[in-house]
Amino acid sequence: MKKVKYLSLAVIGMMLTVISVAQTTEDLITKHIEAIGGKENWKKVNSMRSEATLSTQGIEVPIIITQVHNVGMKQEFSVMGMSGYSIIGVDGGWNFNPMQGQTKPEPITQDELNVGKEQLDLQGEFIDYKEKGHTIEQLENEDIDGVACFKLKLTRKSGREATYILDPKTFYIVRTISKMSVNGQEIESTINLSNYQKLPLGISVPFTMENNMMPAPINLTKVEVNIAVDQSIFKVQQ
Amino acid sequence: MTHKYNTGSKLKNQLALTLLILYSCFSNTAVAQNEVNASIFGTLEARHLGPGTMSGRITSIEGVTNDEGKTLYVGTAGGGVWKTTNAGASFKPIFDKYCQSIGAIAIDQKNPKTIYVGTGESNMRNSVSIGDGMYKTTDGGSNWTKLSGFDSSEHISKIIIDPLNNNIVYVAVPGALWSDSKHRGLYKSTDGGKSFEKILFISDKVGCADLFINPINSQIVFATTWEFRRTPYSFSSGGEGSGIWKSIDGGKSWKQLENGLPSKPYGRTVITAAPSSPNNMIAIIESKSTGLYISEDGGESWKQQSASLNVVSRPFYFSTLVIDPKDPKRVYRPAYSFSYSIDGGYSFAEASGDGGWVHSDHHALWINPNNTNQLYLGTDGGLYTSLDKGATWVFNQNLPIGQFYHVAHDMKKNYNVYGGLQDNGSWMAPSSGPGGVGIGDWKPLFGGDGFWVVPDPTDDQTVYAEAQGGNMARVDTRSVKNVMIQPTQTKDEDKLRWNWNTPIAVGQANKKNLYTGSQYLYRSTDQGRNWVRISDDLTTNDKKKQEQENSGGLSADNTSAENHTTIFTITESPLDENIIWVGTDDGNLQITKDGGKTWNIISKNISSTGIPSQAWVSSIELSHFNKDIAFVTFENHMYGDHKTYAATTKDCGKTWQSFKSNDFSGFAHKIIEDPKNGNLLFLGTEMGLFSSLDGGANWFRMKYNNIPWFTLVRDMKIHPETNDLIIATHGRGIMIIDDISSMRNMTKEILNKEVTLFETGDIILSSGNFGNGGSPSTGGWVAPNAPALKPFQYYLKDRLSSGDVKLEIYDAYGKLVQSLPGTKRKGINKVTWNQRIQPPKTATGASRPDNAGAIAPQVLPGTYTLKLKVAEKEFSQQFKLIHIEDKSFTLKERTTQFNAAMELYTLHINLASLVSSISLKQKEFNTRIPKIKNKKNKKLGDSYLNELETLRATLIPTKQSSMFADEKRLREEITEVYMPLCSGDAGPSNLQLESIENLKQKVEDASKRFNQINTLHEQKIKQALEKEKIS
């Protein structure tokens, strides 16, 4: 009898394991979208204004990111008394970084613009991804810090790929890996996401982002959703 | 019945529910208990020291044909696959989670993101490593899938994708080197690698060595079969199973080619054809009359051409033959050297040698088919590029794939590492240096194949190094002059037998002792000037294993690589110089406890653990804590057994316990014990680095430490002062994991607590160990330095997915000095504080940035408090910052430097406040004054604004001009004095102190001037505005 009990435990254990492992791609997408607030709530998001700080050894770089869904995004920052910004609009992108000696805004490259435009989908690439022309493929689980995480490869309508790593417990995205072309060279960017917080609309966003190309993590301090945005900010002022 | 059934059903349901609850309890328990595994120590990341100066064996090079020769995949003997997208300007490893020995690579040129990799190099030398099968990527190497059917293939020599149908893939598998195997032959897939069928198989002893597909009619396939075998003491290439085969139906049926070919038996044959004229074929056939053969009718008939040295040399090792993609008469034979023919293989010439030496022993060549001047050559020493069809070559110094056998270190500050490389001599380099450890930091010490390089612990200018077969020398590291010190045969002694990788060891208890061994053990106490033999023959002295002069098979090959019945490892106890353990390559483990007077063989006591009796004793570690405790690794791969064997004894070899782990893979090279915690062990194998925190009861693979998961670990040391783990890999150079003390200090209690803030202990105040020479590296491999500052360390049981982590540092008065964002990963987290306060908020609104805003004075020694905030929880501890008294930077100087810097820091803040006040006034009046209609008042207003702006422009740069146009204002004047006082280890100079007083006066004057301007104008302007009701 004892043997039978252990056997049953093992069988049930195996079943549960199988259930937890055998997630279809659609299951994973649905669970992730639910984990971050659900499709319905995210489809209500039209604009977002985030305040963030990049801090390293006491140097603090305040950043303000203003986004309007599928219209534009502006990132403003201040370093050592100087201010700069970058703009991605539907019809172009600009960069002004006086720290690099720029004295006026300059257009970004087509490669950068292509990447930037894909970020204008404020509601997230997973929601209605088929209608958007993207495809998603589940890859073998990725071992992140000893945890077997789900791995999804998203191929955008443009053909550009991004890989998303999902925590198996929370279904939050814990890492994104994307490739971009800079002057014909393939550059890989890895961003670790954490500190998910719920916003009044019911959606959750990661408040901490660590990018392998940045010197320190970026922490969001305030996020406002569906605020009024003067869209002229997405045009360059020479 | 119904009632009974229902009851039964209810019981069953209850049982199921109980079981579920039980399961969930077990499940929760499992989750609640954290196991020791590699993820906990993921922040202990290895630095890859290189060298790039001398690289390692390249086994395969394939390029994408449609992007101008920029994208290449380079397969290596023990360092995985590297990708470049810029023709070699930079490389990235893309195969770090898989077996590191690469046999073949194939790119689907119709869809060049699809690449196949066959693991297991097929250059069948004595030290070749095995693979574990075939892999495929469809995204250029970001993600890989293992293909089924090749797990036991061990060696793969070639993969060809049908140029006309990319679903068809051929794989040539020579198969196991050390044993019979049914997993040999030629395999074919017709579904893009999902499944494979074996289409040519001769026997368990005969594999498939080479392959060629006719690019115009891909049903025509050529394959060569090869009978070969190694034992620990011999090599044989050749046999009746070797042959050359042709199929005209895609491998369904085969015929053996004979017309015009030499008589059998054959050894290894390489075959190819001109891509532009595939009926023009050439082959180099190992036989009793090895030579190059040519066919003009698609292999139906052959005639012999060249048999020059480079064509016929070591056919088992040099199996590369390439015809120019456009010119059917231009034939390349990369082998012992680089030779080429312009007459279809009739005659061969050597490359010019201009532009620098090209390492001998060539194994791979890729020619850009769209620019056939552009060649990439893979050698035993790394990758070379040519832009003139191989006439001259440029060495790529950015591939750190050296194949070390052993590593050692000295005890100097920023200690040096020493090691010997396969086919690439003996080297030393600093573990850290100005600008990192670059290609120029590596110093060659000795030639040949390098193995043991041992610094003399009693003489910091002397090392012992060797080439293969025990050719050892005492080397002066300053001049690199050497004296050969190998013991010689004396009267009445057998001929000395030296292992290819002969051990050289220095005493751990008595550092004057120097040991080496043939079949006898020798000791010197005068740096190898004189030797004393302290043993009889310690091996089995099996004469059958001593016939190396007959080795090679069809081509004689006796280079000491097969020397056998020799001493392989020597260890003197750290606790007693009279205790010496010796291991041999034929299974003997011998001990002396009286300094060599008597010897006791203990090998037989190990057999109960299941370790084969003939296994090589690959390493011996004698405990630092107990004379009777030893750890030993054994390896039996030369008998076809690749299992991991490691064992320990606690009674000086009487009884043994073998170490087991499901994580283990690859045969064992080295085991070491931490000199400070006897329960912390490291095991290096042919396929990975493993660690145990509990004396060997449980092991885990070190795979999150910036180390390829299956890296070939040949040797390791733990530095007793820095606590660094120094690793010799056979394919990725030297790696250093700086300061492993957190592994040493990990306990079960800590593991299961949500958060633990580790004791920081005293931290030395430092501005870093090295300066900045001003010029960044212009190329070649550069390793980062060891961290100069001791980090704060804390443990998180799980990765934090919600909530924040912050570290705050307070001074003795409770004032917040610095706040740092914390990392949130599972396990050990490390955050380094730069020992400085927050940089000053310098004056804003300028047209140029000011560097002072990025640097702050270094704090003074004293007691500080660290607060770690993890979500809602807070942990705190005190720690001390220590000043190390140095005549070049005394505590008094440090204090005066800090005080002076803080005066300037305050000046910056005061100036920022003044500029801010001016700007506020400007903002208040700028738009209103232009509206004043009264001319006199308007003029007064303009004058007010002008005076404010004039003052502001004396304080900060205001011109909007180029970054190259300096504009020095008061802010910059302060910074000019402030920056040196923040960055150098020196007290302030007399002139710097004078400048501070001068600058104080200038800030004060500016402040006065601001007040004067306001006093003069502000009230009048306000009245004028009020009068005209301008708001």
pLDDT score of B581 more than 50 = yes
Of B396-410, B765-779, B973-987, the least confident: B765-779
Whether residue A66 contacts residue A229, with contact meaning beta carbons closer than 8 Å, is answered with yes
**Residue B776: strand, helix, or coil:** coil
Which chain A residues are Cβ-neighbours of B139 within 8 angstroms? 153, 161
Instruction: Evaluate whether residue B17 is within a structural domain.
Output: no
Select from B347, B378, B395 the last residue of a domain.
B395
Question: How confident is the model at residue B24, as a pLDDT?
Answer: 33
Q: Do B27 and A16 touch (CB under 8 A)?
A: yes
pLDDT score of B26 more than 80 = no
Q: Taking residues B763-773, what's their average pLDDT?
A: 91
Residue of A nearest to B35 (CA): A146
Question: How confident is the model at residue B340, as a pLDDT?
Answer: 94
Question: How confident is the model at residue B544, as a pLDDT?
Answer: 96
Question: How confident is the model at residue B3, as a pLDDT?
Answer: 37
Question: How confident is the model at residue A12, as a pLDDT?
Answer: 39
Q: How far is B619 from chain A (nearest CA, A)?
A: 30
Q: How far is CA B597 from the centre of its chain?
A: 43
d(CA B23, CA A90): 54
Question: How confident is the model at residue A238, as a pLDDT?
Answer: 61
pLDDT tens-digit series, residues B782-795: 999 999 999 999 99
Residue whose pair of structure tokens reads 């550009």 in the numeric block? A160
Question: How confident is the model at residue B1031, as a pLDDT?
Answer: 85
Question: How confident is the model at residue A225, as a pLDDT?
Answer: 96
A153 and B CB contact within 8 Å: yes
Portion 39-58 of A in contact with B at CB < 8 A: 55-58
Q: Taking residues A176-185, what's their average pLDDT?
A: 81
Residue among A80, A144, A153 minimizing CB distance to B853: A80
pTM for the full predicted model: 0.93
- For residue B51, whether the previous peptide bond is cis, meaning omega lies within 30 degrees of 0, is yes
Residues 6+ apart with CB under 8 A from B151: B132, B133
Residue of A nearest to B85 (CA): A185
pLDDT score of A24 more than 60 = yes
Claim to verify: residue B351 and residue B419 sit in the same structural domain: no
Select from B335, B368, B395 the last residue of a domain.
B395
Claim to verify: residue B68 and residue B140 sit in the same structural domain: yes
Claim to verify: residue B837 and residue B974 sit in the same structural domain: yes
Domain range spanning residue B930?
792-1018
Residue among A16, A140, A145 minimizing CB distance to B39: A145
Residues 6+ apart with CB under 8 A from B351: B337, B338, B339, B340, B358, B390, B391, B392, B393
pLDDT score of B71 more than 50 = yes
Q: Taking residues A134-159, what's their average pLDDT?
A: 91
pLDDT score of B821 more than 50 = yes
pLDDT score of B10 more than 90 = no
Claim to verify: residue B347 and residue B459 sit in the same structural domain: no
Q: Residue B856 corresponds to which amino acid?
A: A
Claim to verify: residue B738 and residue B879 sit in the same structural domain: no
State the count of interchain CB pairs (< 8 A) between A and B: 133
Q: How far is A199 from chain B (nearest CA, A)?
A: 13
Select from B746, B771, B802 the last residue of a domain.
B746
Whether residue B118 contacts residue B134, with contact meaning beta carbons closer than 8 Å, is answered with yes
Question: How confident is the model at residue A17, as a pLDDT?
Answer: 40
Q: The domain A24-234: what is its CATH number?
A: 2.50.20
Nearest to B213 by CA among B167, B162, B158: B162
Question: How confident is the model at residue A8, as a pLDDT?
Answer: 40
pLDDT tens-digit series, residues B931-942: 999 999 999 999
A195 and B CB contact within 8 Å: yes
d(CA B485, CA B473): 5
d(CA B382, CA B398): 9
Claim to verify: residue B182 and residue B271 sit in the same structural domain: yes
* Phi-psi sector, B314: left (phi>0), alpha (psi -120 to 50), beta: left
Residue of B nearest to A159 (CA): B139
Element (H, E) at B920: helix B891-925
Claim to verify: residue B391 and residue B408 sit in the same structural domain: no
Q: Quickly state the pLDDT bin for B70 (edges 50, 70, 90).
A: very high
Residue whose pair of structure tokens reads 């400048």 in the numeric block? B995
Claim to verify: residue B618 and residue B645 sit in the same structural domain: yes
Element (H, E) at B1009: helix B990-1027
pLDDT tens-digit series, residues A2-20: 333 333 434 433 333 433 4
If one counts the domains in chain B, the total is 3
Residue among A143, A147, A208 minimizing CB distance to B804: A208
pLDDT score of B602 more than 80 = yes
Claim to verify: residue B379 and residue B451 sit in the same structural domain: no
Instruction: Evaluate whether residue B29 is within a structural domain.
Output: no
Claim to verify: residue B215 and residue B306 sit in the same structural domain: yes
pLDDT tens-digit series, residues B297-316: 999 999 999 888 899 999 99
Q: Do B821 and A217 touch (CB under 8 A)?
A: yes
- CATH code assigned at B318: 2.130.10.10
pLDDT score of B21 more than 90 = no
Percentage above 70 pLDDT, chain B: 97
Q: Residue B605 corresponds to which amino acid?
A: N
Q: b vs e for B257-267, b when ≥16 Cβ sit within 10 Å of the residue's Cβ?
A: beeebbebbbb
A148 and B CB contact within 8 Å: no
pLDDT tens-digit series, residues B218-246: 999 999 999 999 999 999 999 999 999 99
Q: Do B837 and A81 touch (CB under 8 A)?
A: no
d(CA B14, CA B689): 48
Residue of B nearest to A193 (CA): B801
Q: Do A13 and B849 touch (CB under 8 A)?
A: no
Residue of A nearest to B836 (CA): A57
Q: Quickly state the pLDDT bin for B393 (edges 50, 70, 90).
A: very high
pLDDT score of B27 more than 90 = no
Which chain B residues are Cβ-neighbours of A58 within 8 angstroms? 818-819, 836-839, 856
Residue of B nearest to A7 (CA): B19
Strands A161-166 and A147-155: antiparallel
pLDDT score of A129 more than 50 = yes
Instruction: Evaluate whether residue B47 is within a structural domain.
Output: no
pLDDT score of A215 more than 60 = yes
Q: Taking residues B532-548, what's their average pLDDT?
A: 97
Mean pLDDT of chain B: 94
pLDDT tens-digit series, residues B714-761: 999 999 999 999 999 999 999 999 999 999 999 989 999 999 999 999
Q: Do A80 and B851 touch (CB under 8 A)?
A: yes
Q: b vs e for A148-172, b when ≥16 Cβ sit within 10 Å of the residue's Cβ?
A: ebbbbbbbbeeebbbbbbbbbebbb
Q: Do B853 and A161 touch (CB under 8 A)?
A: no
Question: How confident is the model at residue B588, as a pLDDT?
Answer: 98
A185 and B CB contact within 8 Å: yes
DSSP-derived secondary structure for B326-365: S-TT-EEEESSSEEEESSTTSS-EE---TTS---S-EEEE
Question: How confident is the model at residue B34, as a pLDDT?
Answer: 61
Claim to verify: residue B891 and residue B1003 sit in the same structural domain: yes
Claim to verify: residue B726 and residue B703 sit in the same structural domain: yes
Q: Where are the alpha helices (DSSP H) in B124-169?
A: none
pLDDT score of B291 more than 90 = yes
Question: How confident is the model at residue B344, as a pLDDT?
Answer: 93
Percentage above 90 pLDDT, chain B: 89
d(CA B890, CA B874): 36
| Helices B891-925 and B935-955: angle between axes, nearest 10 degrees | 160
pLDDT tens-digit series, residues A182-199: 777 778 889 999 889 999
